[in-house]
Chains A and B, each alone.
Chain A
Amino acid sequence: MNGLTGLVVEHIFKQFDNLPVLGDLSLEVKENRMACILGPSGCGKTTLLNIIAGVISPDSGSITGCQDKKVSYLFQETRLLKWKTVRQNIEFVLKDHLPVAERRETVNRYMEMVGLSDFADYYPAKLSGGMKQRVAIARAFAYPANLLLMDEPFNGLDLAMKMSFIKAFTDLWLKDRRTALFVTHNIQEALLLGDEIFVLSNRPAHVKHHITVDIPHQERTLEHPQIIQLENTLYNIITTA
């Protein structure tokens, strides 16, 4: 590992009410790479993200590389303030971090990137589910974070919408390549987005397998022969205990 950059998670243990959720979990994400955590539902993926984000603390183990770093978090839910417009929702997280002029420019740029410029003054109640998700993505990217955490952000979207999001998301990410950690239970999402894929075991979760995907993001499709091959590999890893 190249010193202080990126993110290093070492020997994390966490239990809730004597139920061990994470057991000796270690992984590292190199700077400017997108890592993906793939694991069964309820195996502690969200707990791991929350520990990295500093929302909860681990029982033992250490996390290095993300102290003093600003963290963006794309939640399973959109978590928008319904009394604020699209623009105000993005501004809400930027006000304490960017001066007015730069903030305005940033908000405009990211609203345009997710195709919501025409909806800048709409309240969330007037937007479709997919549009709200795009506001949340714009908010996460507009925030000047060094580390981007994502907790199954494509859950509950139909396939066509999901594919268009993954495309929009990849385009956004490729522009500045922030270190990112992405949690999913979906093998295809993991293969379309991740540079590194960490497969988690059942509870108490630890990394039971790690693969690297070397295909450039722009070339990744579900029909790509190497992706199909990796999909089979991952499927076998997940289904064998």
Chain B
Amino acid sequence: MHSTTRNSLITLASVVFLLVIWKLIAVVIGADIIMPAPETTIRDFANIVKSPGFWPSVGATVLRGLAGFFISCILGLGVGIAAGLSSVVYWMVQPFLTIIRSTPVMAIILLALIWFNTELVPVFVSCLMGFPIVCGNIIQGIKNVDIQLVQMAHIYQVKPWRIVLELYLPSLLPFFMGGASTAMGIIWKVIIAAEILSQPVLGIGTQMQTAKTYLETARVLSWTIAIIGVSFFFESLMHALDNKFRAWR
């Protein structure tokens, strides 16, 4: 059997297994309010997708996530390049990176709630989560640029801007893509946490919190499925981009 077909079948079997376990637990507990059955959840999911509030909520969350993602990429790229090239900048940013990395997400969200309006909190938090990852990877990337190649380009009198564009940037790309993919994965997790606490008007997190308040467990799971879908979509997109950029491998 073709190996990709085989792998798809294994994945499918695993999903079926998960649904069976889920169903079994739901039957044993016998209370929808604690553990709704898979079919109940899927029916509910179909309902919210059809409801008028679905796409605006998903859209608002996606926009915040992408805003946080792009800002952390730009900041990470800028600071990362500066820190990779200058040891002064490198040692200057280390404490900031360490503090941001070790502060619990909830602490950042609570502080953001105090400082910013509700719409901005998720963007700020996802920025702060994505930035150190992208920045760290870019620093690694700069340190990995092959000095022998740079020397070759200097001897052949290649213009500095061309060395940056055609030598440094392509060397950095895999590191940037690695950091951006990781950041993309984490951002969807923290953005929901931030939305649940900050309650912007529209957002998947807001919807989840509302559903939880009314003890609509199936609804909480439905919105969870929605954010898993969003996360999966963007991770696949990053993966496809990464493959496209690295045709030379």
Contacts and interface: CB of A to CB of B under 8 A. Distances in A.
B162 to A, nearest CB: 7
Nearest to A96: B159
B248 A82 contact: yes
A125 B151 contact: no
Contacts, number: 51
A93 B156 contact: yes
Interface in A25-77: 53-55, 70-73, 75, 77
A54 B157 CA distance: 11
Contacts of A92: 153, 156, 158, 162, 166
A123 B148 contact: no
Contact of B155 (A55, A82, A83): A55
Given A70-B157, A93-B158, A79 B152 contact: yes
A97 interface: yes
A83 B249 CA distance: 8
Contact of B158 (A71, A77, A79, A96): A96
A72 B153 CA distance: 11
Contacts of B173: 83
Contacts of A123: 247-249
Given A55-B151, A81-B167, A96 B248 contact: no
Residue of B151, B156, B170 most packed against chain A (CB within 10 A)? B156
Interface size class of A (residues with CB under 8 A): 20 to 34
A87 to B, nearest CB: 13
B239 interface: no
Given A82-B248, A83-B170, A83-B248, A73 B148 contact: no
Nearest to A124: B248
Nearest to B166: A92
Interface string A86-118: 000000110111000000000000000000000
A143 interface: yes
B166 A53 contact: no
Contacts of B158: 92-93, 95-96
A79 B170 contact: no
Interface string B158-185: 1100100011001001000000000000
Given A79-B148, A81-B167, A81-B170, A71 B162 contact: no
Contacts of A97: 157
Contacts of B153: 92-93
B156 A125 contact: no
Contacts of B248: 82-85, 123-125
A93 B249 CA distance: 22
Contacts of A84: 166, 248
A125 B249 CA distance: 7
Contacts of B157: 70, 96-97
Contacts of B148: 75, 77, 79
Given A77-B148, A96-B158, 7 more contacts: A55-B154, A72-B156, A81-B166, A85-B248, A92-B158, A123-B248, A123-B249
Interface of A: 53-55, 70-73, 75, 77, 79, 81-85, 92-93, 95-97, 123-125, 143
21 contacts: A53-B155, A54-B155, A55-B151, A73-B152, A73-B155, A79-B149, A81-B149, A81-B166, A81-B167, A83-B246, A83-B248, A84-B166, A92-B153, A92-B156, A92-B166, A95-B158, A96-B159, A97-B157, A123-B248, A123-B249, A125-B249
Top-8 shortest CB links A-B: A93-B156, A123-B248, A83-B170, A79-B152, A83-B248, A73-B155, A96-B159, A53-B155
